[in-house]
Structure 1
Amino acid sequence: MMTEQALVSVVVPVYNMEAYLAKCIDSLLNQTYRKIEIILVNDGSKDQSLEICQQYAKADQRVKVINKKNGGLSDTRNVGIRQANGQYLMFVDSDDYVTEDFCEVAVTNIEKYSADICCTGYFGVENGDVTKETAGFKEGLISKEQAMQLTIEDSHAWDKIYRSTLFAQLEYPVGKVYEDTYLTYQLFEKAEKIAYVPKATYYYVNRETSIVSEMSPKNIADQFDSSNEQYKFFQAKYPAVAAGMAEFMLVRALRYCTYCPKNYNRALYEQAYQIIKTSPVDPATLDRRYQVTMKLFRFSAPLALAIFKLRKLTNR
């Protein structure tokens, strides 16, 4: 006797994505795993995104459209989660797309390993070039430490499938830009079992105009803040992982101080400098270019800043 398939809820936040939306939705409608509900949450789009969503909802009963006032990505995901009916949750950004076995691979493996979360590989797409990204793990269950290590470089919501119950008391932080970084490690902590499958089923399209690509003071401040929260959590519960997080934070701070936006932001520089100054990371373990930058900033931050400003002027 065949067991009944579990319902998968796929939450798709939508904001001004009329140029990309059809490719995204079509890839979901073509899934080999048929028992899905596609929840399109329109976040107050000013283009034709809502109309496109509504057309798809009329054509396929698996598509549900929610229209709301603009509240940002976190708020939009939270609204979709609250409306989800599935045993499992997945996320797709509306400018990305997926393989036809996106849901099938995820469901098969989360059930195969009786896991609460299953992570997969993904494809990165930039200027038409496609590269496969994986964490280097073999297929199977991974430890909590391995999962936490994974979040340092990959806190994405979209290359994972989750048991819906994990979100019972957790939600994405409204008003924050790097919302995945704030929440993914908490979901991993709540999960009893976490599986990993290196097969790539998601196409992440890196656009220069995307939120994550914008080097605005708000984005950088949230990036520093989310990393710091994660680091403090690792220090308390996963010290071995904290070491890797410290290096990740240090490199981010060094990059910011070296390649800062045109609009100098003193508060962010102070924050980045404090990370550089107090980091427990041995400079000798870093790439040579970062070794030099770190030593220069620790010797004299004003001198380092003057040098990098001068270099920018000469490189124009």
Structure 2
Amino acid sequence: MKKILISIIMPVYKVENYLHTCIESVLNQTYSNWELILVNDGSPDNSPEICDEYASQDQRIKVFHKPNGGVASARNLGLDNITGEYVTFLDSDDFFHPDYLESLLNLGIQYSADIVQCGFIRGVEKTFPIINKKQEIKMVDNYDVFLKGYAKIIVWGKLYKKYLFEELKIPENKLFEDDFITWRWYFKAKKIVVTNKLLYYYTDNNESTMAGYEKKPRLDFMEAYEERIEFFKNISVKSMEDYSRMHFCKALLLTYENKMLTKEQRQYVYINFQKNWSNIKYSKYIPIHLKTLFYMFNIAPKSVSYILSLKK
């Protein structure tokens, strides 16, 4: 039987110090039937040359060069050129555990899953640390992945069936593109398998886009939550609408703590929190501990925010 092909999509931009570690983690996979699609998003450093060098040495590696358009446009170009039955994403400053592809594919086949999700580690290591952790596996549908708290609204760290991307490409020119699309892929999936096995390494990169956001905060993520809430409201799924509002409230509460927010931004965050809290304060789907936290924040946002910052 022919081995299943896995497509790996990797956007590349200003990562010459991380790129070798990242690509080598793919070359060192225990599962070998993959294609690595490197999309150079107009990187001004030596990353394009590094990509071309690896492609010249391994025919499984394909390189596409394009003008800079952002990570979403790079990922979409990758999606336009995949030939595998399964797809996964790898950020070019991160790397895989050697068993990443094999472990996720085996779970996907065993459970006939449309999405397989693993755990991840974050830090600044160059090799995957040895962690002995008993594997736990959960199988959920496209509702319980949200309602039971398994959903991770990030593109990477998952193996997807190819069909999920039909008519669901990543929105471009958005800072929080993961927030706009990942929940849609979850909801389209029929069966999702979640393992706590740590197979993806997220590198703390001070030069990344998200690190820049922390210094100059933007509120693009709010549009993504509002879009999701409106979607579930329109199809009359109260549990999912309330769940989405709950997570929006959590995100707003945490955003309120950001000391880099302007006075106008902080006020805008608080107003949107009040709006969504008023819709869920009597909901049976919201845990009591979160209701208590939201209630206190609604009354005294500065005090609650200060207490939370001390706990960090």
Q: Could you say whether these structures have the same fold, taking a TM-score greater than 0.5 normalized by the shorter chain as the test?
A: yes
Matches of 1:37 and 1:4 in 2, distance apart?
Answer: 15
Q: Following the alignment from structure 2 to structure 1, what is the Cα–Cα distance between the partners of residues 138 and 268? A: 39
In the TM superposition, residue 197 of structure 1 has moved relative to its aligned partner by 2.1
Structure 1 residues 90-99 or 157-166, which shifts more? Answer: 157-166
Aligned to 2:300: 296
The answer (yes or no) to whether the contact 2:145–2:151 under 8 Å persists in 1 is no
Offset, 1:156: 1.3
- How far does residue 139 in structure 1 lie from its aligned partner after superposition? 1.5
- Aligned mates of 1:169, 1:151 — CA distance in 2: 26
SS in 1 for 2:198: strand
Q: 1:166–1:258: structure 2 CA closer, same or farther, 3 Å change rule?
A: closer
1:269 counterpart (266, 283, 295): 266
Report deviation, 1:15.
0.3
Unaligned 5+ segments in structure 1 are 298-303, 310-316
Separation (CA, whole Å) in 1 of partners of 2:215 and 2:228:
20
Q: TM-score, normalised by structure 2?
A: 0.83
CA contact (8 A) 1:124 1:131 kept: no
Instruction: Describe the superposition over 1:127-165 as per-residue Cα deviations: whole angstroms up to 9, x where unpaired.
Output: 899798x9xx94142122222347886111111111112
For 1:1-316, what aligned pairs fall within 5 Å after superposition? 3-125=1-123, 138-149=136-147, 154-215=152-213, 220-235=218-233, 236=235, 238-261=237-260, 264=262, 266=264, 268-278=265-275, 279=277, 280-282=279-281, 285-286=289-290, 292-297=296-301
Contact 1:99 1:201 (8 Å CA) reproduced: yes
Instruction: Determine if contact 2:142/2:188 at 8 Å carries over to the other structure.
Output: no
Matched residues, percent identical? 29
Judged with a 3 Å threshold, the aligned counterparts in structure 2 of structure 1 residues 153 and 6 are, in CA distance, closer, same or farther, namely: closer
Aligned CA distance change for structure 1 residues 22 and 149 (closer, same or farther; 3 Å): farther
Q: Do 1:27 and 1:98's aligned partners in 2 also have CA atoms closer than 8 Å?
A: yes
Q: 1:110 to 1:62 in 2, by over 3 A?
A: same
Structure 1 residues 12-21 or 251-260, which shifts more?
251-260
Contact between 2:16 and 2:46, CA under 8 Å: does it hold in 1?
Answer: yes
CA contact 2:216–2:260 (8 Å) conserved in 1: no
Per-residue deviation, 1:14: 0.3
Aligned residues: 297
| Aligned residue number for residue 309 of structure 2 | none
Query: Does the aligned pair in 1 maintain the 2:141–2:190 contact within 8 Å?
Result: no
CA drift at 1:221:
1.9
Q: What's the offset of the Cα at 1:172?
A: 0.4
CA gap of 1:131–1:222, structure 2 versus 1, over 3 A, is: farther
- In the TM superposition, residue 216 of structure 1 has moved relative to its aligned partner by 6.3
- CA contact 2:136–2:197 (8 Å) conserved in 1: no
CA shift, 1:59, in A, is 1.1
- For the Cα contact (< 8 Å) 1:13–1:93, is it kept in 2? yes
Distance 1:184 1:148 in 2: 12
Work out the CA distance in 2 between the residues paired with 1:210 and 1:255: 20
Q: TM-score, normalised by structure 1?
A: 0.82
**Residue of structure 2 in register with 1:313 after alignment:** none
What is the DSSP-based 3-state SS (H/G/I as helix, E as strand, rest coil) of the residue aligned with 1:199? strand
- CA RMSD in angstroms comes to 3.3
Q: Which amino acid aligns with 1:162?
A: Y
Contact 1:215–1:261 (CA under 8 A) maintained in structure 2: no
CA distance, structure 2, for counterparts of residue 95 and residue 156 of structure 1: 15
Structure 1 pair 152–247 and aligned structure 2 pair: CA distance change class (3 A)? farther
> Partner amino acid for 2:48?
L
Q: Pick which of 285-294 and 253-262 moved more.
A: 285-294
| Runs of at least 5 residues in structure 2 that lack an aligned partner in the other structure | 283-287, 307-312
- Are the equivalent residues in 2 in contact too, given 1:89–1:163 (CA < 8 A)? yes
Distance 1:60 1:79 in 2: 21
Asked if structure 1 preserves the Cα contact closer than 8 Å seen for 2:114 and 2:192, the reply is yes
